[in-house]
Amino acid sequence: MMSEPSTFADHGSWRVDPSQESQIETDATGRQVDQEVIAVFDSGFGGLNILEALTDLLPDERFVYLGDSLRSPYGDREPAEVREFSLEILDYLRRHYRLKLVVVACNTASALALDALRAVSEVPIVGVIDAAVRAIAQATHTSRVGVVGTAATIASGVYQRRLALETVTAIACPGLVEYVEAGAIDDPGLLALMHTLLEPMKMAAVDVVLLACTHYPYLGAQFLEVLGESVTLISSGEETAFEVRELLLGSRQVSTDTRHPGVGVEFLCTGPVEDFQRVGQRLFQGALDSVTRVELQPVGPGERQQISQQRVAHRLNSQQEYANG
């Protein structure tokens, strides 16, 4: 099944609400905000591999990464909880930064919260599902494909629906995230667990497997050991990073601002900073010397409605400006 390349129209509106310009003065660390940022958020740490790919592909962009480490992982939470947490993160980001684009670097949040986020966002929201679906559909030669992810991602059925023309073996892999975050990827117990979990996928003789959790690329060698070297692994995170670059290039929104050399990423977390740095430094190749702990606020139905109304009004104004030339 081949999908058409996505455009910014698929991800939401592009221009920031003018009302946001007067509201945002400083970022989470108190520094004056004078540049749009690409925000990347995850339930914890897995999205760091997407961030790493993005910083390589877009070296002149400014990034902010928010890991909800206090409530990680999302994979065993109820869908309503995941949506609420995601909306709280977006609300925090839009109140503290001049956003260019938001990357939902979490398969569970992408599967369960993407529509809710786009409904209230003034800027495009990019999840990790679209690019991954295109990549797996293009890579398979047998139409027998596998998807591994958290319990919530697999239960959502999003990949099974999107890959309807392929024969999909979708398997939830509880426990793998914990091994990655504990730095225990060489633990014999991990390989034993993976052999047990992935047996149905071996029996299905899949030729392509989508790693539908941003933690799983760190276990690429283990997946190949269990499934066989002939299997092609696709990382939803890497595919998403390439998609973001193509979207920015296509819309001529790539930054060429070199005023902030070496200060391209700001790290935020909701849990203890020391814990975030300890785990993050095992997964991220760059420096995590400066991390700020932030506190998220609940977003009630009234606030969501107000944000959504502002977004609709902004879109109508933009359309009128375009019509008037």
Domains of the chain with bracketed CATH: 11-129+239-303+310-323 (3.40.50.1860), 131-236 (3.40.50.1860)
pLDDT in the model for residue 10: 57
**How sure is the predictor about 236, in pLDDT bands with cuts at 50, 70 and 90?**
confident
Mean pLDDT of all residues belonging to the chain: 84
The residue type at 220: G
Mean pLDDT of 81-106: 96
- The residues facing 223 across adjacent strands are none
d(CA 46, CA 73) in angstroms, rounded, equals: 10
Told to judge if 173 belongs to the known catalytic residues of this protein, a careful annotator would answer no
- 75 annotated as a binding-site residue: yes
Is 214 annotated in a binding site? The answer is yes
Q: What is the residue whose two structure tokens read 């391209």?
A: 264
* pLDDT at 193 exceeding the cut of 80: yes
What share of the chain has pLDDT > 70, as a percent?
79
Catalytic status, residue 106 = yes
Per-residue pLDDT, averaged over 223-243, amounts to 94
Question: How distant, in Å, are the alpha carbons of 93, 94, 211, 212 from that of 97?
Answer: 6, 6, 31, 29
Closest CA relative to residue 45, chosen from 284, 294, 321: 284
Q: CA 147 to CA 254: how far, in whole Å?
A: 32
> Distance between CA atoms of 85 and 82, rounded to whole angstroms?
5
Does 121 appear as a known binding residue?
no
43 labelled ligand-binding = yes
Check pLDDT > 90 for residue 305.
no
> Is residue 143 marked as binding?
no
User: Of 160, 171, 212, whose CA–CA distance to 194 is shortest?
Assistant: 171
Q: Read off the pLDDT band of 169 (50, 70, 90).
A: very high
Exactly one of 53, 103, 213, 269 is catalytic; which is it?
Answer: 213
Q: Tell me the mean pLDDT in the region 101-114.
A: 96
Query: What pLDDT score does 218 carry?
Result: 93
Is 141 within any annotated ligand binding site?
Answer: no
Say which of 90, 104, 106, 233 is annotated catalytic.
Answer: 106
Residue 262 has pLDDT above 50, yes or no: no
